[in-house]
Homo-oligomer: A and B are copies of this chain.
Amino acid sequence: MGDQIINPSMASSTEENYLKALFNLSNSLGEVNLSELAHGLQVSLPTANSMVKSLQKSGWVNYEKYKPLILTPEGQKEAALIIRKHRLTEMFLVKKMGFGWEEVHEIAEQVEHIHAPKFFQRMDEMLGFPTIDPHGSPIPDNQGRIQEFSYVPLSSCKPGQTVQLTALTNSSTEFLEFLNSRKLALGTQLKVLSREAYDLSLVVSYQNHPQETLSEKVSERLLVRVLD
């Protein structure tokens, strides 16, 4: 009853999730191991194996037995366009619908699979063509091109440095709620006061927080721009 037209060359939601996972898990060489993929998607190895073979048939992945997986350029573009929909959605939910940055990932995980170019185009327009999402990740353009930023993890900063929080390497609800509880948001300026040699925790100061200790687990997930 008036459902969407399914183009055979179109990826299913499942395939789209595999492409996204491959994209996000790719190392600097663009390679991913099957077991990382299976782990990332919470499926068994044989499941990932058979899916990868079918993604190869569709031309999204280069697959050779026992070799690491590599997205083809088409696969990369496809993945980037899904990530674009995901991040535009997150931005829309935060900026236009009043959601907190910790609430939007799960919703976007579903909305990203909607096939309606005008819908996302309209979001993009309403948002003024944003280039980053609410967690500081870049939004690919409509050709699937991604602007790369060179941020460094806070964990690599030295005492005395002043930095600005610009992005996160993890956007789980739990982590975001932790940041909320410490009043840490994108844009916050922090000064690194000291590093504890034993557990690599950092003592920082910012705004009304003259002294706050951040574990290594936290500081390695905070990406910053060094200000001086």
Contact = CB atoms under 8 A, between A and B. Distances in A.
Nearest to A115: B110
Interface stretch (A56-64, A99-107, A151-159): A99-107
A106 B2 contact: yes
> 4 shortest A-B CB distances, which residue pairs?
A107-B116, A110-B114, A1-B40, A97-B122
A42 interface: yes
Interface in A86-105: 93, 96-99, 103, 105
A118 interface: yes
A119 B107 contact: yes
Contacts of A218: none
Interface stretch (A16-24, A141-149, A182-190): A16-24
18 contacts: A1-B21, A1-B41, A1-B42, A2-B105, A2-B106, A2-B109, A2-B172, A4-B106, A4-B110, A93-B119, A96-B96, A97-B122, A97-B123, A97-B126, A106-B116, A107-B118, A110-B115, A110-B116
Question: What's the dominant secondary structure at chain A's contact region?
Answer: helix
A78 to B, nearest CB: 16
A2 B86 CA distance: 12
A130 to B, nearest CB: 16
Nearest to A14: B3
Given A97-B122, A103-B118, A122-B99, A109 B17 contact: no
B1 A20 contact: yes
A118 B173 CA distance: 15
